[in-house]
Chains A and B, each alone.
Chain A
Amino acid sequence: MSITLDQVTKRYQGSPVVNDVSVDVGEGEFFVLLGPSGSGKSTLLRAIAGLTGVDHGRIALHGRDVTHISARQRGVGLVFQNYALFRHMTVGDNIEFALRVRRMKAADRLARRKELLRLVALEGMDDRLPTQLSGGQQQRVAVARALAHKPQVLLLDEPFGALDAKIREELRRTIRQVQRELNITTVLVTHDQEEAFALADRIGVMNLGRLLECGKPDELYARPATRFVATFLGAANLLLARQTAQGIRFGATPVNIRALEKIDGTREHEVVAVLRPEEIELAPTRDNLRVNYMGLGVVEEMVFTGALERLRVRLTNGAAEAQITPPGDAAASTAMLEVTRTQHEQRTFPVTLGQSVALGVRRIHVLPTPLSSYTVCATQKAAAERLASHPFLTELASRMKTRIATRTEPALAEGTDAETPISGVAVVTPGVDTAKQIEWLLRNGAAEVLVLPEQLLPPQRVLIHWANDAARRPTLAVAASLLRHVSAEAVYVGILPEGASDTQRPVGMRTLLDARSEAQAMHGLEMRTELRFGSAAEELRRQLNDAPDQMLILGISDLADLHQNFAALFSTPPPFALMVVYRPAGSSGANER
């Protein structure tokens, strides 16, 4: 491996800007770190270059651990967004800088300089000053300069940011060419997905300091695992759907299409479906559709962009009940679909504004995320609405691009059942009978329950614990899904009974290690582990009391656990956020990631 990052964490004033990032970049690979501004991608690049120290983790270049080696000795080439050329030196002197520092002979320097200038197509520009060059030329000089000392890896920090579109494309081609010719391992940081697609062998998408997903561009686009990647890489319509053994259902409308992924048929449940705008077909009526019908709609907006036509279609039936989340606008309650059509499609069926159309879908991708939506439950309407505007919850929902529904359940925690099953994550405030409420919600269809105290800051640390092995997988899946949207540190707490025998201890340790590697391998979630001794509930409560701003994710497979093993957690209303994950023993978790 050319570059190996192992659990790299960088904190700034206490909060992590790069959070437990592990990735391997192969020899000669062009790796693109993609993310919005503030996602920590530039900090990570600077950490690889050695310009920023890391608080935790290890960085290795070609097998050599360089975590504590200065930028000077790392042998990397770095290119900056603003070129960072030495303006008092000529192009030639700029390129030769690294060689002069290394006291290379003048003749050798000259030869290397000529070679590099040829590489970036700037022959004969040796004696110009940087100020006499255009932006694109300056960046070429910067690339040549960064390559002068034959670095092991080339790092590029938004190198096209300051250039206009045409130059950008030209320089992009040059960089790709140079990279191929030298076969140098390259990491490029950008916020532009088009750039990432054009250059990358592999893309790593970052958000909130975490590396969410890595993969080949086409795979990431077709099969994203997270809402963030689905919407950040190109446009995506996110819909809440029910997944059944027969297929996917939007509200009452079954879409006779099987998701590409293996379907968990044992349990009908809410899922998040991704519909790419180009996978939606329009036709005058349902019968004219060549693909699976999903509903009727009215064309509300049309934009012609040259090659493609972009439409926004308001759904009037069918999937309209599926509570669609329109791209980039989670708050809108209307079911609006974004559709793009090619010239050919436009000619086959021209549409006008306000026209009624039938919609069909060619392909649906179901996100393997267990947290689909939130349903706030309370005995009174006012209380439910108050909780629905909880800052942490609204923040979470907006980051997950999902919705918060409210439900008034007078029977909450009483004997009678709810009229219709609760879908998604049920949210309640803590009270004296929290344990009972959780049990009631879990009995009434909720797969997870989030207990949210009114006064709560976003957690800095999330503790994870499961009651028994059966609850392990779903709990990890929920934790991974949640932690993609919360900038916090994850800690799995394993607890052995007090006075555990010597034979039990190694087993406990192995459980920790297994949990960690499963989290990493299946969910890309980096978490720390801790082993404790004592009663599980009391140990957890003690840790949660230690510091404010913590959260607990608790996995159970038996509702009785709430009143037995974990009763101590609920003896007083919990002042921390608590997510209870419940999967009855024996249910399959094939779809959970």
Chain B
Amino acid sequence: MSSFRQPSILPGFGLTLGFSVFFLCALVLIPLAALVMKTATMGWDDFLNVLFDPRVLASFRLSFGASLLAATLNGIFGFVIAWTLVRYDFPGRKLIDALIDMPFALPTAVSGIALTAVFAENGWIGEHLAPFGIKVAYTWIGVVVALTLIGLPFVVRSIQPALVEVQRDLEDAAETLGAGRFTIFRRIILPTVTPALLTGFTMAFARGVGEYGSVIFIAGNLPMKTEIAPLLIVIKLEQFDYVGAAAIGFLMLVISFVMLLSINLLQTWGRRRHVAAGR
């Protein structure tokens, strides 16, 4: 143990490590292990049946697809919002800054109901979209909208501090060196912000995959069409099919873990590449 110990002014390495391990076990590892064990009680055939159930596959496609799309949208517009908040001073800036966090605080069901009311065919926004044949509520688009809303703060809040770091001097320097606006954005600003952007993207994506409350109101929950994976788990639970629910949960766990890990690896690889280029 002592060989891991880093010299530090603050004592209590043993204590803090103990707490960390305990908390992780009690709150993350043990429940997840229970999930895996529950899944293990079913046979391979049953497990594969659940897995290749077309309804399950459709729900996975929707959950991960919509989350990915929503996180991408947030990556773009979250960047714009963060840019506006960091770079410009305008009346109401503080207010908008505070509003960003609203999706954090609001019970997700409330945002779901509000979105449904607005985007339904007779809602404020829905009625203007209907003539163009665009239906938002009760379609996969509604799912994306809901996931975009709840993912936004993750992206904005991770990019903001990184953007503050991009000093004006850097842009001024690039400008005197002859770079145009687009070049400055692409070569100077974007590379500096990319790690933070990826982090925000990952968090928004992860949150989207697990989101339940806001989506079920706006999605309409049509099997094979607008049914998300978490909802399918709840349905299984209501039918007392605990093992089936556990199997879907386990699968989500694996997919999410793989995706998050790959994004993290991508980031590490990106950093390495810089350092490697520095050798």
Contacts and interface: CB of A to CB of B under 8 A. Distances in A.
B175 interface: yes
A411 B257 CA distance: 96
Interface string B56-83: 0000000000000000000000000000
B279 A127 contact: yes
A129 B275 contact: yes
Chain B contact residues, majority secondary structure: helix
Interface in B152-167: 167
Question: Which of B178, B179, B188 has the most C-beta atoms of chain A within 10 angstroms of its own C-beta?
Answer: B178
A149 B274 contact: no
B167 A97 contact: no
A253 interface: no
B122 interface: no
Contacts of A46: 172
B177 A145 contact: yes
B12 interface: no
A270 B32 CA distance: 91
A575 to B, nearest CB: 36
Nearest to A142: B173
B183 interface: yes
Nearest to A77: B176
Contacts of A72: 175-176, 178-180
Given A51-B172, A84-B173, A101 B167 contact: no
Given A51-B172, A84-B167, A84-B170, A98 B278 contact: no
B31 interface: no
B181 to A, nearest CB: 9
Contacts of B191: 88
Contact of A87 (B174, B177, B192): B192
B254 interface: no
A459 B172 CA distance: 35
Given A86-B188, A88-B191, A129 B175 contact: no
B172 A84 contact: yes
A242 to B, nearest CB: 52
Interface in A61-79: 70-74, 76-78
B95 interface: no
A149 B177 contact: yes
Given A80-B169, A82-B167, A127-B277, A88 B192 contact: yes
21 contacts: A51-B176, A71-B176, A72-B175, A72-B180, A74-B176, A78-B176, A80-B169, A80-B172, A84-B170, A86-B188, A97-B179, A97-B187, A101-B178, A101-B179, A101-B183, A102-B178, A129-B274, A142-B173, A145-B173, A146-B177, A149-B178
Interface of B: 167, 169-170, 172-180, 183, 187-188, 191-192, 274-275, 277-279
